[in-house]
C-alpha cells in the first residue's frame, strides 16, 4: 500500500538520501582513516547498507508519482522552485520535463484561477503541484490552494 507524502516527509526523505550519498562518498575518501579505527570500515559499510535497505523499504510506501520525483532527485535532474511564502530552506526537486510543464501551465492558467476545491483536483497543474509541492494545509476547499501562489524560479 502506498500513500502520498507530505512536504515535511519529502524533505526528510531528501535528507536521508543525501545522508546515504554522503556516507558512500565518505567511505571511499576516508578508507585509510577508517582502517585506523577498530572495525571502522566494516561498521560504516554496515551502517550504509542498513540505511540503503531502509530507504528501499520506505520508497515502496510512496506513490508512483512521488517516486519519480525522488528518482529524478537521485539522478540529478533538478530544478529548484521556492514559493515565496515557503521557507527558503525548502527545495522542491523534479525532472526537467515536469518543471517545464508546470511552469508553462502555471503561467497561463493559475493566475486568477477561481476553481473550487473539487474541480481543482481535476486540474493538471494542481495534480503536478500536489505531487511536487505538497502543502501542509489545503485550506477550506472554497478555492484552489495553489491559485494565489507566486513563484520564484
Mean pLDDT (the chain, rounded): 76
As given in the structure block, the three cell numbers for residue 25 are: 562518498
More confident residue, 42 or 23: 42
Confidence of residue 45 (pLDDT cuts 50, 70, 90): very high
In percent, the amount of the chain with pLDDT more than 90 equals 14
Average pLDDT over residues 37-42: 94
Q: Does residue 44 have a pLDDT over 60?
A: yes
* Model pTM above 0.85: no
Q: What pLDDT, on the 0 to 100 scale, is given for residue 78?
A: 40
Cα separations (Å) of 36 from 43, 55, 71? 13, 29, 36
* DSSP helix/strand/coil, 69: helix
* DSSP helix/strand/coil, 152: strand
Average pLDDT over residues 57-76: 76
| Residue environment code for 15-40, b if the CB has 16+ CB neighbours within 10 A, otherwise e | eebeebeebeeebeeeeeebeeeeee
Q: What pLDDT, on the 0 to 100 scale, is given for residue 128?
A: 75
Q: Angle at Cα 37 formed by Cα 22 and Cα 25, nearest 5°?
A: 15
Quick: pLDDT tens for 104-116. Answer: 677 677 777 778 7
Q: What pLDDT, on the 0 to 100 scale, is given for residue 150?
A: 57
Q: Does residue 88 have a pLDDT over 60?
A: no
Q: What pLDDT, on the 0 to 100 scale, is given for residue 81?
A: 45
In percent, the amount of the chain with pLDDT more than 70 equals 69
Amino acid at each position: 500500500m502506498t500513500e502520498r507524502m507530505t512536504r515535511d516527509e519529502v524533505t526528510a526523505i531528501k535528507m536521508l538520501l543525501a545522508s546515504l550519498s554522503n556516507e558512500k562518498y565518505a567511505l571511499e575518501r576516508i578508507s585509510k582513516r577508517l582502517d585506523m579505527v577498530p572495525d571502522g570500515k566494516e561498521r560504516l559499510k554496515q551502517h550504509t547498507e542498513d540505511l540503503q535497505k531502509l530507504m528501499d523499504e520506505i520508497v515502496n510506501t510512496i506513490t508512483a508519482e512521488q517516486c519519480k520525483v525522488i528518482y529524478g532527485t537521485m539522478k540529478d535532474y533538478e530544478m529548484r522552485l521556492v514559493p515565496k511564502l515557503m521557507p527558503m530552506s525548502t527545495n522542491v526537486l523534479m525532472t526537467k520535463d515536469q518543471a517545464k510543464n508546470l511552469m508553462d501551465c502555471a503561467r497561463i492558467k493559475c493566475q486568477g484561477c477561481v476553481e473550487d476545491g473539487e474541480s481543482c483536483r481535476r486540474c493538471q497543474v494542481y495534480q503536478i503541484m500536489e505531487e511536487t509541492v505538497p502543502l501542509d494545509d489545503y485550506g477550506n476547499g472554497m478555492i484552489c490552494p495553489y491559485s494565489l501562489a507566486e513563484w520564484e524560479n
